[in-house]
Chain A
Amino acid sequence: MEPMGRLDPSELSVKDLPWQILWDKEKCSLCGRCTAACPVRAIELGVHRKRILQIPVGLQEHPSNLFSLYHGIRQRTDPAHACTGCALCSLVCPNGAIVPIRSAETDKLRFHVNAGGTPRRRGGRRNDPRSLLDEIKFIRISMLTDPALDAGRHEFELRTLLGRVLPPEQIPTVIAQDGWAPPVREIYPLIIGSMSFGALSPNMWEGIQLGVAYLNEEMGMPVRVCTGEGGCPPRLLRSRFLKYVILQIASGYFGWDEIIHALPDMKEDPCAVEIKYGQGAKPGDGGLLMWYKVNRLIAAIRGVPPGISLPSPPTHQTKYSIEEAVAKMIQSMSMAWGFRVPVFPKISATSTTLAVLNNLTRNPYAGGLALDGEDGGTGAAYNVSMDHMGHPIASNVRDAYLNLVRLGKQNELPLLAAGGIGKNGNLAANAAALIMLGASGVQIGKYLMQAAAGCLGSEADRCNICNIGLCPKGITSQDPRLDRRLDPEKVAERLVDVYLSFDTELKKIVAPLGRSTSLPIGMSDALGIADHPAAERLGIRYVI
């Protein structure tokens, strides 16, 4: 640094960064693992010069300086190499000599991550740890007049329906005429939401698919997983495991060439087709796979050249209106599989949800509606979209459900809720709350990445570099050197753990409410919250 007059506006000190590396010289063995492992190279070998002043007693000798060197690490301060707090350095350090610490005050880095005029882009989630879902309690406990059930010993029917369910009045005609009934899937209400092949690493994808297959075939749990918009590996398309998969079609149509060409070879129908119109993490914005992650494999599956960014348009470009977008796409997708596969749209939760919903109620082929709230995650998006755009999921689902109740179609059009379920670890409680507010099922993504693969991201802006392919755990990286850190079989094991423990917790919630014979969709009398405006807004009981 020059002594006077020249300080770059973006010249930052370690103090200005969100994360400061605390390094203990006494413990460090200089093995170099931390610097090798750091995904953003925030730390590097530091050669530090040290001066010791030697002042002899008496007047004979003059004081002198003793200069020495020591080696250690140095934290870089330029925005491109600012520590992300992932703490992989701590993970690999054999001596526990290093750890990133979150700055106590708001960092200054945030004002400088737009070099070249490009705003910050990142992966992860909304940087806000608050969760209304966490505040909802289950207050209607069966006591004496109606003894609570035994979560461990009773039988529970916890499945839900995906697909357009006929109103009872139409059943006699369908039976009498042996007529067509819309396809309906009986599935587990905790659905693995759309995380694309591309956003996730091949090992992560494989781990999820393995786990899902195990849950279905060994544990009898009809768990379903959505592909996201990146298409589907050709072998999976032609395998019997396709029936556990919800194929997503989004505005980039990535991978759909491959899917359509695989149609004649499919042994099974997919579980469903999800048409993505919006996403909770970046409402009104299209999907984004940044060039770092578009390697040859991803490019081949998506049908694009490698090494280019893949921003999907915010809307389906060939459709100009809701009638076209919804009716025609649902029709086309249904037709592709001979009307044997439920087709449903997914939208960002928005204050205009009811307009979409009402349109769907009049479309007899619409197989549901997925709502993705503001706390949804993403592999890549603009920071401003993630932190400031979108609608909370709880009130959106509630409004949608009550609207269906007014129309008498609450059973005909299943609602799926997503976005921030289990963001603070309370997966079953959050899922059950949304179901009792009216969701037929919930979709999760980030929770699985954290629980099944050890994702380090957090609402305190930790890590969140899924977008640039440098995931330190290999979950969202396409670099084989990172990807191989993740063992697909271990991911599968953890995924199974997550589902089994969720199942037990869900029973621990519904059993005391006296519910076991059907999923308590819309059982709002069971819910309470110590927040009066929230209680009124959601139509649940205010309790303090």
Chain B
Amino acid sequence: MCRLFAVTSDEPFSPMVALRAIDVMKEGHDGSGVGLYLTDLGSDFEQFKGEPILSGIFSNEGLKALDRYMMDLDFMVKYKLSIRPAKNPPPGTPRRDNYVIRVYEYPPDWESLTTEEIQHRLLLCRLQLRKMGEADESMMVFSFWPDAIMIKEVGDPMAVAEYLGLNRKELQARTMLAQGRQNTNYAINIYACHPFFIQGFATMTNGENTAFVPIREFLMSRNYPGYTGYQSDSEVFTHILHYTRKNLGLGLDMYKHIITPLKDEELVRHPDGQRLRLWKQSCRPLIIDGPNCVIGCLPDKTLFMVQDSKKLRPGIVGGHPGMFAFSSEMCGLDAAIPARDKSRDFQPMKYDTVAVGPDRKEVKRWSQWEGSIPLN
């Protein structure tokens, strides 16, 4: 079972904080992958809040192709953090040429575009680059979005962090997601590594998604270009989140209602049962059949955690105003925020959604039995 750790803090910090927490939970991951999502960036990236950042792994040829493609689109590199790793990678980690984190300046002719259109084009750019590099694995692109960095690699998280020098001072963020992967039923593939990202939404999951195939079919049949990939059965959680919010305009409360709707007889007793029943019927193919614990981050930097309705996967949230963490294991939380009031730790159950907003003041709890009070 994968190990998950998400943390949000008023002050920027190094991703090593999250990776150390993952390391504490070591018995739960097997070095088949580590993934990091950093947002609300600090340090050198603080000044480029609105500019899109490309994250990925490129061969030398791939890097040239990237440059050509981006220049053709009239993107200009504003800042880059290139990681050229040491000669000998840790056991299990493939040798790569370049780990790329680049901030771009938008093409001048994008200035007149709406935010919606810009976001759509950024998505298409990422997908196009991914497609271009898919056959020869010369390009692996994880995100292309403002204020978002993603790093993924196969190997033990701490060894990979040391190898890539992730403790460098330029790499700091206030909100981050980290996953130590336990490869299960699919081949080791870097695109299968959590967290997954689409247009500012990122999620990671532990457990297997047994309803994967019908959910994937439903998402792909929406004919939205971003709903693709699916090297991991968990990628659908990110896309459902995106679909419910961007396409259907629903809040985080409805994300929970859609992936784990109340039972038919429960809906009879729910004050808003009639409306929820419509959504349940209509989104029936999106019902997850865990066990899964989903931890995610919204575009406004709200962190959240939801459980599937069987509640067979652990998940805990705790912290203090200014810093909160979501962890799949209590020991991970203890390692990251030892000085907290543990009596206020909360383990969400099958009806719960918990969230920490961008103000980082409190853990908001919401149950499906409550009315539709948006969490963010």
Contact = CB atoms under 8 A, between A and B. Distances in A.
A159 interface: yes
A522 B310 contact: no
B263 A155 contact: yes
B54 interface: no
Given A175-B275, A186-B264, A517 B214 contact: no
Nearest to A140: B210
Contacts of A524: 213
B14 interface: no
B247 A169 contact: yes
A186 B267 CA distance: 12
B320 interface: no
A30 B258 CA distance: 71
A522 B217 contact: yes
B287 interface: yes
A411 B310 CA distance: 24
A186 B262 CA distance: 14
A355 interface: no
Interface string B287-303: 11111000000000000
**Which of B263, B278, B308 has the largest number of chain A CB atoms within 10 A?**
B278
A149 B279 CA distance: 26
Contacts of A170: 282
Given A168-B279, A407-B221, A517-B289, A146 B210 contact: yes
A405 interface: yes
A513 B282 CA distance: 24
Contacts of B308: 517
A525 B223 contact: no
Interface in A168-194: 168-172, 174-175, 181, 184, 186
A410 B289 contact: no
A142 B285 contact: no
A522 to B, nearest CB: 4
Contact of B278 (A174, A186, A405): A174
Given A147-B312, A157-B263, A142 B278 contact: no
Contact of A525 (B182, B213, B288): B213
Nearest to B220: A405
A327 interface: no
Contacts of B284: 161, 165, 411, 518, 521
A410 B217 contact: yes
Interface residues of A, number: 43
Contacts of A161: 281, 284
B221 A405 contact: yes
A521 B211 CA distance: 9
B248 interface: yes
A523 B213 contact: yes
B27 to A, nearest CB: 14
A169 B248 contact: yes
B208 A523 contact: no
Interface string B198-210: 0000000001101
Interface string B150-166: 00000000000000000
Given A145-B184, A410-B217, A515-B210, A171 B249 contact: no
A246 to B, nearest CB: 19
Interface string A313-335: 00000000000000000000000
Given A513-B210, A515-B210, A517-B288, A410 B218 contact: yes
A406 interface: yes
Contacts of B1: 145
A454 B90 CA distance: 69
Interface string B213-227: 110011001110000
A411 B182 CA distance: 33
B309 interface: yes
Given A146-B208, A522-B213, A410 B260 contact: no
Contacts of A409: 221
A27 B12 CA distance: 97
Contacts of A514: 208, 210, 289
Contacts of A168: 247-248, 279, 282-283
A520 interface: yes
A149 B312 CA distance: 10
B218 A411 contact: yes
A432 to B, nearest CB: 14
A517 B221 contact: no
A46 interface: no
Contacts of A157: 263-264
B196 interface: no
A408 interface: yes
20 contacts: A140-B210, A155-B263, A161-B284, A165-B281, A167-B282, A168-B247, A172-B249, A174-B278, A181-B278, A407-B221, A410-B214, A513-B210, A515-B210, A515-B289, A518-B211, A520-B211, A522-B217, A523-B211, A523-B213, A523-B214
Given A408-B223, A410-B218, 20 more contacts: A142-B210, A147-B312, A161-B281, A165-B282, A167-B282, A171-B279, A172-B248, A174-B278, A186-B281, A514-B208, A514-B210, A515-B289, A517-B309, A517-B310, A518-B284, A518-B287, A523-B213, A523-B214, A525-B212, A525-B213
Interface of B: 1, 182, 184-185, 207-208, 210-214, 217-218, 221-223, 247-249, 260, 263-264, 275, 278-279, 281-285, 287-291, 308-310, 312
